[in-house]
Structure 1
Amino acid sequence: MEATRAPALPPHDTRSPQPTFPAAPHTGDRHTSWPVHCDPAEVGRIRHQTTAQLHDWGLQDLSDTTELLVSELITNALRYAPGPIRLTIRILWTSLRCEIEDTNPTSPQRRTATPDTESGRGTELLDALTEAWASTRTPTGKTTWFTLPLPHPQESSPHLAD
């Protein structure tokens, strides 16, 4: 279904053990991207920025689900990736696509979570709430992405028009 390839993390100085991201966010009409600092407090900031961006695009109907899934994937990246993380949100023709890039090449692992388990439900959430999701290896780690269907056709919203 997905014909486009997820972008790789930006090139980095080969003298540095980890890639680095520019500090300023890249924002456009149809996508936005932010670096995520390696600090658990970043999850709240990213949730706020994600919700604000979706409201700016007139996609507030997707805020709760997107916020939950982005939080889950950012938390996992902070827990398992040793270096920089980046969130990119894109509006595609009929979908919202969220991409989390990190420096750990290992794909998300499916676990069996019991009712008492505090973790291990990320892939279950992605399966239940998304249109599609996957993890793609990159030269510096991986990109885990998911798509959600837009609540209305792109041409019906002035926020989404080119």
Structure 2
Amino acid sequence: MSASWTLAPCAVSVPVARRLTRATLRDWGVPDEPADLLVSELVTNAVQHAGGPVRLRLSAADGVLRCEVGDGGPGLPRPRPATPDDEGSRGLALVAALASAWGSTRTCRGKVVWFELPAPVSRSSSGLDSGLLPPVRLVAVPG
């Protein structure tokens, strides 16, 4: 499963990215927390530092949710310590603390910052109807 969007390089894209993430993951039967928070942190960084369209991609396979945020900025992000008085500088530290893995990669269009989380599929998800889980065959039913 995967979904992707291109967002405008403005502050309004942050809550939009969070809503898209929540809705998509709920449709997939994957918990949306903390992915929605981490996506909003990475989109905020992209909007503040890159100055161009922001690409958001979500994918779930083999029990792993991967979220990628791409932008045209040339520099790879580096976490830096924040002081209590800083208004920012905590986004990457939050990603590092909550994600099972994260990183960044240069691309021909700029960079992609990504993170991964475990993605257990909910039994109440729409995935039951989409063939994501194997069919169950009843062998014997007590009468």
Decide: shared fold, TM above 0.5.
Answer: yes
1:144 aligns with 2:113: yes
TM-score by length of 2: 0.83
In the TM superposition, residue 116 of structure 1 has moved relative to its aligned partner by: 2.3
CA distance in 2, matches of 1:46, 1:83: 15
What 5-or-longer segments of structure 1 have no aligned partner?
Answer: 1-29
Q: Which amino acid aligns with 2:104?
A: S
- The structure whose Rg is larger is 2
Moved over 2 A (4+): 151-154, 156-160
TM-score by length of 1: 0.74
CA distance in 2, matches of 1:53, 1:85: 18
Selected match of 1:101 from 67, 70, 94: 70
1:121 aligns with 2:94: no
Q: Is the 8 A contact 1:134 1:144 kept in 2?
A: yes
Kindly, what percent of the aligned residue pairs are identical?
A: 43
What's 1:24 paired with? none
Deviation readout 1:21-57 (Å, 9 max, x if unpaired): xxxxxxxxx0000111112111111111110111101
Q: Is the 8 A contact 1:57 1:160 kept in 2?
A: no
Selected match of 1:133 from 102, 110, 135: 102
What is the SS of the residue equivalent to 2:89?
coil
What's 1:32 paired with? 3
What is the SS of the residue equivalent to 1:47?
helix
The RMSD of aligned alpha carbons is 2.1
Q: Is the 8 A contact 1:113 1:120 kept in 2?
A: yes
Aligned residues between the structures: 130
Distance change in 2, residues 1:127/1:115 (3 Å) = same
